[in-house]
Amino acid sequence: MASNFLRQRKPYYVESTINCSSSSDQKLVNLSFGINETRNQTKKRQAKEHHGRRSCLDSCCWVTGYLCTTWWLLLFLYHCCLPFTVVHEVPELMPAARLKREGLKGIHPVVLVPGIVTGGLELWEGKPCADGLFRKRLWGGGGFTQLLKRPLCWLEHLSLHNETGLDPPGIRVRPVPGLFGADYSAPGYFVWDVLVKNLAKIGYEGKNLHMAAYDWRLSFQNTEVRDRALSKLKSKIELMYRANGNKKVVVVPHSMGVAYFLHFLKWVKTPPPMGGGGGPGWCSEHIKAIVNIGPSFLGVPKAVSNILSAEGKDVAYFRAMAPGVLDSGTLGLRALEHVMRVSRTWDSVVSLMPKGGETIWGNMDWSPEDEHVCDFSKKRYFRLSPSDNNVNNSDAKQVFRVKDPVKYGRIISFGKAASVLHSSQLPTAVLKEILHMSASRNFNSSCGEAWTEYDEMSRESIRKTGAADKAYTATTLFDLLRFVAPKMMNRAEAHFSHGIADNLEDPKYNHYKYWSNPLEMKLPDAPNMEIYCSYGVGIPTERSYVYKLSPSNKCKRIPYQIDTSVDGEDGSCLKSGVYFADGDESVPVLSAGFMCAKGWKGRTRFNPSGINTYVREYQSKPPTSGIKSTAHVDIMGNIALIEDILRVAAGATGEEIGGDKIYSDILRMSERINLRL
């Protein structure tokens, strides 16, 4: 009986045994109860330990996912800014210290205009998951730590409303005001800090130095609608002008801030309610010079890859090194999907799309950069004499050359063949096919909840748009993006335009959607104002991409990705599915320099008052980061650029600091562009 009890260990059997057993059996029962209880406790403890081990594994996976999501979100917008501290540690290397000894003093008030992602954002109202974060940073500074503590909550509060492009219900995130808001994008990653310290050395402080903070996620006009940011900027410039003895202001925008301030130039003179009502002479009265740093006047191709697949070269390289990690269903990272869901609510991303279509960026068989690409095998540049192209004040000229010209005009190619074959050997344009599929778009119910807009597309339509041997130029890719991201494009294209104006006198160009496109607006009537295009050169910069369909056909997965298996031969500019051209690592020379080199040079229909423009290029020199770096963000600490800004702020003109300084092939590129001026 006891042996049966020990073998079966069932409570109902125990009860019957007690009623029918002798006292000796009763002792055995009690002993059995003890053994049974001990074994049950052991079993529970083992289950708890197993659960703990499982929780530990789950936690590790989640932490890995959060870290990856953070990294990819930063890479998506910034592509790994490199920190350096040499300027801080060696104050004697600051150009301001030397210039101050020479007697240089600040004269003109200075306004700094940050670009995308470089300004801090703080929480003013949020959901219950954000308790304790009132007026704490969500972006910039230490705000990224919230991604590890409450990742989904953090992402939700950084997203905008998918239909209005403004605040979602119950959430208010606002820009951090003042210089503190954009001096560092993250601990150790400076943006404006080095320049501000140099300006302080020659006498600048709060009364004559201002950071024009704005919410870089919004469309430019919506920063005025929601926050009155443009009105605040106008009032601040007027106040600084009066408070500093009627000295005109020097404005220093960076990256996307260049397009934002271009929008402001048109807004400030436009009558209310659409504009600021300053009148046609406002800019001439208040602004001395605009020193544009790393200007993305004509957009950047990597904005296309970011919208299409939330990728750039860094993400593509990681995918090649660790295939399957980003798409792992086991770990559940979905890092790129998270990035895409958030960033597609930011209208500002569309402002960075290439402007000017095939006229500027090239068609299927031509581009302005033909024969000017980088040589990865030799890592050096051919040098021409300073007399080439009548370049003044240039000690050398850099030209990237390879044997075969790259068809840069094909910004997106599906398959390597589509990027190299003559257009006559490729399928005809799929524009009509895409528009037809867009009209018959149906929700893919098999995917359940739609994580991205790709989940609302049929697998067949995805296959057709990304079929091998199809290529898209700066004109046709907009139809592709309108199909794969209709909500974003419908919303954002009400605020931005990317074409070329036929007749700038047409009243339609008085609408704000055209104001940030230099090819669809006229500069103000300010003949004494100066405009500088200041940017780095000599760094391979993303120009076009080779794509493929993703190997995974599962729902809730991005169906396209850069084909990192595609490389060129020695001397080719094709590396891991990305074609590179000359630039500052983020903005190609073509986008940064064309307007100052040709579009606005002299009196043109885009510059009717003949504002003087200057191309100021800064040559990349080793080390890749430091006081001589010219990368898109690192250049903010470049001593040559800082010296130029200080001299302009102290009253120097463009001619007095040396006029044009050109190392790249921007003049030849500009001449190859057939644009009516």
Q: Which residues pair with 250 in a beta bridge?
A: 110, 289
In angstroms, rounded to a whole number, what is the distance separating the alpha carbons of residues 603 and 643? 29
**Which uninterrupted H or E stretch holds 574?**
strand 574-575
Phi, psi at 539, each rounded to 5°: -115, 125
Spatial CB neighbours of 663, under 8 Å, sequence gap ≥ 6: 394, 396, 397, 398, 537, 538, 617, 619
What b-and-e string marks burial along 351-381, b requiring 16 or more CB atoms within 10 Å of the CB? bbbbbbbbbbbbbbeebbbbebbbbbeeeeb
**Which uninterrupted H or E stretch holds 125?**
strand 121-125
In angstroms, rounded to a whole number, what is the distance separating the alpha carbons of residues 545 and 412? 5
Active-site annotation holder among 479, 584, 660, 665: 584
- Give start and end residues of each alpha helix (H) in 79-158: 86-89, 95-101, 145-149, 151-158
- Residue whose token pair is 């080095």: 194
Q: Please say whether the beta carbons of 208 and 111 come within 8 A.
A: no
Active-site annotation holder among 185, 219, 255, 586: 255
| 576, HSE (Cβ side, Cα atoms, 13 Å) | 13
Q: Please say whether the beta carbons of 493 and 312 come within 8 A.
A: no
In angstroms, rounded to a whole number, what is the distance separating the alpha carbons of residues 92 and 200? 14
**584 in catalytic set:** yes
Taken in order 183, 188, 191, 192, is the CA torsion positive or negative? Answer: positive
Taken in order 468, 493, 216, 632, is the CA torsion positive or negative? Answer: positive
Vertex 97 angle, CA 94 and 100, to 5°: 140
**Which uninterrupted H or E stretch holds 268?**
helix 256-269
In angstroms, rounded to a whole number, what is the distance separating the alpha carbons of residues 279 and 144? 42
In angstroms, rounded to a whole number, what is the distance separating the alpha carbons of residues 443 and 250? 51
Active-site annotation holder among 108, 210, 495, 632: 632
What's the length of the chain? Answer: 677
**632 in catalytic set:** yes
| Of the candidates 170, 172, 159, the residue with the CA atom closest to the CA atom of residue 124 | 172
| Of the candidates 412, 372, 395, the residue with the CA atom closest to the CA atom of residue 540 | 372
Long-range contacts of 619-626 (CB under 8 A, 24+ apart): 619/396, 619/398, 619/536, 619/537, 619/538, 619/663, 620/536, 620/537, 620/538, 620/539, 624/82, 625/82, 625/83, 625/84, 626/84, 626/86
Query: Around Cβ 188, how many Cβ atoms within 10 Å?
Result: 11
**372 in catalytic set:** no
DSSP 363-411: -SS--TTTT----TTT---EEE-TTGGG-SS-S-EEE---SS---TT-S
Estimate to the nearest angstrom the gap between the alpha carbon of 532 and the chain centroid: 22
In angstroms, rounded to a whole number, what is the distance separating the alpha carbons of residues 78 and 349? 12
- 3 state DSSP class of 257: helix
Catalytic residues: 255, 584, 632
